[in-house]
Amino acid sequence: MTEPILQVTDLVKHYPVTRGVVFQRTIGHVRAVDGVTIELKAGETLGVVGESGCGKSTLSRVLMNLEKPTSGSVKYRGKEIFGLRGAELKKMRRQIQLVMQDPYTSLNPRMTVGDLIGEPFEIHPDVAPKRDRRGKVQELLEVVGLNPEHINRYPHQFSGGQRQRIGIARALALRPEIIVCDEPVSALDVSIQAQVMNLLGRLQKDFGLAYIFIAHDLSVVRHLSDRVAVMYLGKIVETGTEDQIYERPTHPYTQALLSAVPVPDPMSRQTKKIIRLVGDVPSPVNPPSGCRFRTRCWKAQEICATQEPELIDRAEDRHPSACHFAEAREIVVSHEAGTS
Amino acid sequence: MSDPAAIGLAIDSTTAEELSAGQATPTGTGGGGSTDKPRGLLGDAWHDLRRKPMFWIAGAFILLFIVMAAFPSLFTSKDPGYAVLERSRQGPSSSAWFGYDVQGADLYARVIYGTRASLLVAVLSTVGTVVFGSLIGIIAGFRGGWPDSLLSRIADIFFGIPFLLGAIVILFTLNPPGANRSEFTVLMIVVTSLVVLSWPVSMRVMRASVLATRNADYIVAARALGASTSRIVMRHLLPNCLAPALVYSTILLGSFIGAEATLSYLGVGLKAPTQSWGIMVAESQDYLRVSPQLLLFPAAFLVVAVLSFVTMGEAVREALDPKLR
């Protein structure tokens, strides 16, 4: 359990920005993912949070080998995934599956549920013999809490939550080790979110899955994650266990994010100190020098503009945080806590 | 003479294209019946089609036209080429249901015998245009990059050629007056020239819908599952891109019958003794006011034929869209 099954080292993905119609010149790069190092152990959940445009979805696509990275490596069980071809690539794909964000567009509208969930078996025929497939599909429908008799229905006949369950069943079909969840609940109603989250939690227990759980909602991530990585402008600014990130965050960005989480208790809400970030996320084409967060940070000083803070353990609390002035700060987040 | 099997072949290839565009589910042909049995898109589409009266009506008409084209002698015992000048432009009577044409030939017999050439030209040109154009469109849209630019520019070149002028040039070159080519050869040359000049539109139609579908989430999902390119194209891309091409092809069918008529009228297309609706419509125009039946009868057949294909295309398109079911 301690050996990491997925090792991501210095992953960089830049998209060229071109100008011109016939003769295209590259005038810059969108630094969507800019040096991300994470690792995932078997059976654990790594939450990745960050606001829109910080490179979370690009990270998921590169991890799925849907896009080639500019540099860096992703190793699955010690094997570099980007060099794989043909049968080896197919074998790797079996082990890493994807649940997409929007359940309304991620299912082919012209395929029945049976065909959608059965497709992984058709692509990887060695997983299940032909005559067992229908049974397997119905089994999967049952596992994700859908009626197995709905095998002949089309996606448009289901609600958003049910469609996301179909997506999860499809990802589950090949019994993968890792499922990359790219904001799997953000398109759903809050009440349905909880159901899908609980389903994901139960499946993890039953099948020993490891999740990379990407979301912009901190409370959603906390519910499932063992470890959390906070992303800002293509870089990871702080990582640690769920407890470290949520109870003792040291990076100002994490603190700002956490302070924005709505608190259901009106008493503690009044005493809560909200950190309001001003301005927008800087353009990833031309990120600020030094610390990328310095343009919106209240602690920023001279050194932040010149020297990029490394993601290392800071004295305050023993977990990596990329801030020169990392320090703990009391923040009200948990539903129970009410101090200020 | 052209062989009647060619028509059947043309029809077959249309349906085959629709079939392959759906999905090759092993259980597809079984149709409805029990709800428990797994079905695919095609099975459901067939199940849906069977309950549509418009499908059966259009199908019956198309079948009738096919039989008419294959065995015209079943419908009339007269010879369409036998003309007696003294009965020129006589109106409909019990001896000649549709009357006689300018030359005094039986109009009904001519319409019946004209079915073959008209349908062959229309169906073959439509199938050729849509299949070839769609193929190029899929390649251009799916590959993107320089193949797309190259193919699009080539399409633009063909797009820029005026239709009639281009057809006249091609036909004069391949089928100069005086060259005694067989009826079937002339027909194929006409088909070829129509396809060559009209594929860019269907290529554009297909390319546009491929571009709109190419980056859909479900295609990304299929890639993440490890699906091959051919699988993505056949099972995900084509079924979702087919509707516009199908609609366009039904419109095209009618316009090709008209185009064949124009070319025949200009003397570069089919020539007598070949019979075709287009030739008859073209001939009738000088006598429109005095003998309107010369226009009305062949035009009526033409309209019914085009309408049947349009209705059939519409029914198939609706059946292939689960949301409209």
Is B225 in contact with A97 (Cβ distance < 8 A)?
A: yes
Cβ of residue A112 closer than 8 Å to a chain B Cβ: yes
Euclidean distance between CA atoms A49 and B38, whole angstroms: 40
Residue A154's pLDDT is 92
* pLDDT, mean of residues A226-231: 92
Residue A287's pLDDT is 87
Domains of chain A: 4-225 (3.40.50.300), 238-340 (no CATH)
* pLDDT, mean of residues A162-178: 92
Specify the amino acid at residue B143: R
Helix, strand or coil, per DSSP, at residue A30: strand
- pLDDT of B7 > 60? The answer is no
Is B226 in contact with A89 (Cβ distance < 8 A)?
A: yes
* pLDDT, mean of residues B90-114: 88
Q: Which CATH number fits domain B5-324: 1.10.10.10, 1.10.3720.10, 3.30.420.40, 3.10.310.40?
A: 1.10.3720.10
- pLDDT of B4 > 70? The answer is no
Q: Mutation target for A interface from B218, B235, B242, B316: give the one with most A CBs within 10 A.
A: B218
* pLDDT, mean of residues B221-244: 91
In the predicted model, what is the mean pLDDT of chain A? 86
Q: What percent of chain B has pLDDT over 90?
A: 39
Cβ of residue A149 closer than 8 Å to a chain B Cβ: yes
Searching chain A, which residue's CA lies closest to the CA of residue B325? Answer: A154
- pLDDT of A99 > 90? The answer is yes
Cβ of residue A106 closer than 8 Å to a chain B Cβ: yes
Residue B19's pLDDT is 40
For residue A146, the tally of other CB atoms under 10 A from its CB is 22
Per residue in B28-45, pLDDT (tens digit) is 333 333 445 667 788 888
More confident residue, B89 or A230: A230
Residue B21's pLDDT is 39
In the predicted model, what is the mean pLDDT of chain B? 83
Q: Mutation target for A interface from B23, B213, B225: give the one with most A CBs within 10 A.
A: B225
The pair of structure tokens assigned to A107 is 């299912």
* pLDDT, mean of residues B187-214: 93
Determine the distance in angstroms separating the CA of A94 from the nearest CA of chain B, rounded to an integer: 7
Residue B23's pLDDT is 38
The pair of structure tokens assigned to B200 is 């860019």
Residue B1's pLDDT is 40
Q: pLDDT tier at B132 (50, 70, 90 boundaries)?
A: very high
* pLDDT, mean of residues B237-249: 89
Residue A191's pLDDT is 85
Q: List all residues 6 or more positions away from A137 whose beta carbon is below 8 Å from its beta carbon.
A: A113, A114, A117, A118, A121, A151, A173, B38
Per residue in B261-278, pLDDT (tens digit) is 788 878 788 877 788 888
More confident residue, B38 or B63: B63
Residue A269's pLDDT is 67
SS (H, E, C) B125-181: HHHHHHHHHHHHHHHHHHHCHHHHHHHHHHHHHHHHCCHHHHHHHHHHHHCCCCCCC
Residues within 8 A of B (CB atoms), A 162-181 only: 167, 170, 174
Determine the distance in angstroms separating the CA of A151 from the nearest CA of chain B, rounded to an integer: 7
Q: B288: exposed, middle or buried (C-beta count within 10 Å: 0-12, 13-18, 19+)?
A: exposed
Residue B129's pLDDT is 95
| Numbered residues of chain B with Cβ closer than 8 Å to any chain A Cβ | 22-23, 25, 35-41, 44, 216-218, 220-228, 231, 235-236, 239-240, 320-323
Residue B60's pLDDT is 96
Residue B6's pLDDT is 41
Entry pTM? 0.81
Specify the amino acid at residue B62: I
* pLDDT, mean of residues B256-264: 83
Residue B36's pLDDT is 56
Q: Render the burial of B137-155: b for 16+ CB within 10 Å, e for the rest.
A: bbbbbbeeeeebeebbeeb
Residue B13's pLDDT is 39
The pair of structure tokens assigned to B35 is 């709800």
Per residue in A29-43, pLDDT (tens digit) is 888 898 899 989 998
Euclidean distance between CA atoms A59 and B19, whole angstroms: 39
- Listed by start position, the domains of chain B span 5-324
* pLDDT, mean of residues A141-163: 91
- pLDDT of A102 > 50? The answer is yes
